[in-house]
């Protein structure tokens, strides 16, 4: 285990807990935890920029993304709102986060300087044990980009331009095939999945997906199941992209539509 991880787990964190006992304000205790845990030496892998990640996808790479929901499953938390955990799903999250093959990009958020993920890693530093600190990850924020511009979306659209696409998503869920994003697809087909607990149908989904020719591009939006499906399809020779909430986030930034988390899980 990396010496920095050992220091984080057995020195910095206990010290933070001990010192926080003497701080009466909860806000000050939180700042103290962050100050100690987020020193300059805080261990975190290098993460590509969004443009660098998109360029790799344009060149045929696949991608499996992990965020706080997938991290929670890797840590063995019982469930997230749209996917219950299981020993198998936990094992797959850890496997993918530790991925060392080059058939599929593994994506995580960039090192956080503030905000939600700074607090997340403060509370759950154990997730760093599952990361490869000496390698480079892709950027999981490709589907959460808060700075969409017409030119930026044009770069995304190059990924599927004139391609035959298979979407894997729930027709009863949040994802929509919006024309302003996907109108340049040559043709598409759809594998329908449940809006919640899609991993429970993993084998059926994979069986359907494997019936398609290898020239198909898979665009997948079904929570943590998408992480596993994209990873496994990539290892079978397909290009598969865990696309997440891309249409919803694009609509939020350009049209003030609700954020994905503010939409009902099922229609």
The pLDDT, as a whole number, for residue 40 is 46
| Pair 170, 158: CB distance under 8 Å | no
Return the ∠ at Cα 102 (arms to 97 and 106), rounded to 5°.
30
pLDDT per position as a tens digit, 55-80: 999 999 999 999 999 999 999 997 78
Please give the mean pLDDT across all residues of the chain.
86
- pLDDT above 90 for 209: yes
Residues 6+ apart with CB under 8 A from 133: 2, 4, 5, 43, 44, 45
pLDDT-derived band at 267, boundaries 50, 70, 90: low
pLDDT per position as a tens digit, 226-238: 999 999 999 999 9
CA distance 237 to 67: 25
- In this structure, the number of other CB atoms found within 10 A of the CB of residue 26 comes to 9
pLDDT per position as a tens digit, 124-147: 888 989 999 888 999 999 987 666
pLDDT per position as a tens digit, 7-20: 555 566 566 656 66
pLDDT-derived band at 215, boundaries 50, 70, 90: very high
Q: Any idea how long the chain is? A: 267
The pLDDT, as a whole number, for residue 38 is 54
The pLDDT, as a whole number, for residue 102 is 81
Residue 243 vs residue 81, higher pLDDT: 243
| Pair 62, 152: CB distance under 8 Å | no
Q: What is this structure's pTM?
A: 0.84
CA distance 197 to 30: 34
CA dihedral 174, 178, 180, 185 (to 10 degrees): 130
pLDDT per position as a tens digit, 166-179: 999 999 988 989 99
Q: Which helix (H) or strand (E) element contains residue 80?
A: strand 79-80
- Mapping DSSP onto H, E and C, the string for the chain reads CCHHHHHHHHHHHHHHHHHHCCCCCHHHHHHHHHHHHCCCCCCCCEECCHHHHHHHHHCCCCEEECCHHHHHHHCCCCEECCEECCHHHHHHHHHHHCCCCCCCEEEECCCCCCCHHHHHHHHCHHHHHHCCCCCEEEEHHHHCCCCCCHHHHHHHHHHHCCCEEEEEECCCCCCCCCHHHHCCCCEEEEEECCCCCHHHHHHHHHHHHCCCCCCCEEEEEECHHHHHHHHHHHHCCCEEEECCCHHHHHHHHHHCCCCHHHCCCCC
- pLDDT above 60 for 251: yes
- pLDDT above 80 for 1: no
- In this structure, the number of other CB atoms found within 10 A of the CB of residue 198 comes to 25
Beta bridge partners, 254, equal none
């Amino acid at each position: 285990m990396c010496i920095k991880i050992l220091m984080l787990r057995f020195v910095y964190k206990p010290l933070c807990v001990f010192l926080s006992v003497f701080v009466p304000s909860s806000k000050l205790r939180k700042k103290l935890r962050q100050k100690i845990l987020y020193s300059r030496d805080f261990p975190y892998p290098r993460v590509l920029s969004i443009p660098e990640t998109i360029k790799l996808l344009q060149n045929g790479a696949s991608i499996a993304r992990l965020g706080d929901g997938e991290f929670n499953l890797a840590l063995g938390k019982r469930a997230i709102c749209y996917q219950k955990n299981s020993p198998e799903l936990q094992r797959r999250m850890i496997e993918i986060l530790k991925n060392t093959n080059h058939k599929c990009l593994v994506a995580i958020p960039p090192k956080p300087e503030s905000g939600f993920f700074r607090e997340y890693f403060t509370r759950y530093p154990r997730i760093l044990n599952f990361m490869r600190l000496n390698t480079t990850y892709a950027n999981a924020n490709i589907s959460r980009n808060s700075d969409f511009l017409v030119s930026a979306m044009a770069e995304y659209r190059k990924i599927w331009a004139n391609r035959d696409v298979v979407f894997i998503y729930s027709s009863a869920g949040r994802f929509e095939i919006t024309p302003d994003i996907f109108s340049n697809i040559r043709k598409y087909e759809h594998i329908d999945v449940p809006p919640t607990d899609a991993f429970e149908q993993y084998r059926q989904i994979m069986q359907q997906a494997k019936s398609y020719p290898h020239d198909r591009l898979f665009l997948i939006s079904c929570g943590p199941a998408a992480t596993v499906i994209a990873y496994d399809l990539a290892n079978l020779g397909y290009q598969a992209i865990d696309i997440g909430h891309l249409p919803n986030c694009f609509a939020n930034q350009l049209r003030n539509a609700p954020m994905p988390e503010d939409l009902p899980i099922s229609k």
